[in-house]
Amino acid sequence: MRYNRRQNRESAMSDRGSILDVTEATFESAVLARSQSVPVIVDFWAPWCAPCRTLGPLLEKLARQGAGAFVLARVNADDNPRLAARYDVHGLPTVKAFADGRVVAEFTGALPEPKVREFIRKLAPSPAEQALNEGLSLLATHHWREAEAAFRRALDLQPDQGAAALGRLKATLAQGRGCEAVALLEDFPRSDESVAAETLRPLAEFLCEVEGADLPLDETELDALYHQAARLAAHGRWAAAMDGLLDVLRQDKKHRRGAPRQVMLAIFELLGDDDPLTREYRNELASVLF
């Protein structure tokens, strides 16, 4: 594929501004100002540069695939020598990424596609990664319903995204939908998050056990305490639920083969290590068990 200015102009028009030819006169508005709202990747190239003919089309392809996640700005270094000197361009191709009006990352030479993709990924998350990051922020502040919606969007875009699947599982549990969480665990994508997901299974089964079920009238006192704790957890009353589980453990550490302990560990995983309840009740649990 020839890397020439005619093709550049045609692709810039077809990609609605995600690929631009930039000069010294337009650099301020096209790169510095625009980088305040979206990452801008500047490709310094020249017509005689053989590696540029490889890297240029690759960057164009990734810009199209990015669907606006970043802008590709191409600068012909021969036509804009002062701009190249201003940004210390000593070899071609040179790629510099701008955010908030300044250079935040760069490389020189025609890197292989996986490395270029990684370079861009760190600067401009994909729509799926953006949805994931939004979900994680909402999860951290316990906005469970909004977090679940964000994770669903991420999974619609990338169904095998383990982090989004784990986030959705946590948001589902936090809203008391244990049986749905059990189903999510059965279809959980194989990923680095699989182990963390399994630590939540006791909580999912705990909640599911009292979800729309008629419990036996002749259940034992400890089972009654256990199920009451599950009802409290289903309504987000974590402290009261864990108090109930601790009451069960104080009377019988081996009740239901240690299920109360496993449920509390799952609640800690759900709330996170930095949550005050996690710190408080982790100490309470240790004092009861040991």
Of 141, 172, 155, 41, give the one whose Cα is nearest residue 98.
Answer: 41
Indicate the pTM of the whole model.
0.69
- Tell me the domain boundaries of the chain: 5-123, 127-191, 207-289
pLDDT for res 13: 37
pLDDT for res 79: 98
Matching fold, domains 5-123 and 127-191: no
The pLDDT tens digits along the chain (290 residues) read: 344 443 444 343 335 469 999 999 999 999 999 999 899 999 999 999 999 999 999 999 999 988 788 999 999 999 999 999 999 999 999 999 999 999 999 999 999 999 999 999 888 777 888 899 999 999 999 999 999 999 999 999 999 999 999 999 999 999 999 999 999 999 999 999 999 999 999 999 999 999 976 767 678 999 999 999 999 999 999 999 999 999 999 999 999 999 999 999 999 999 999 999 999 999 999 999 98
- Out of 2.40.50, 1.10.1200, 3.40.720, 1.25.40, the CATH code matching 127-191 is 1.25.40
Catalytic annotation, residues? 49, 52
pLDDT for res 223: 93
CATH of domain 5-123: 3.40.30.10
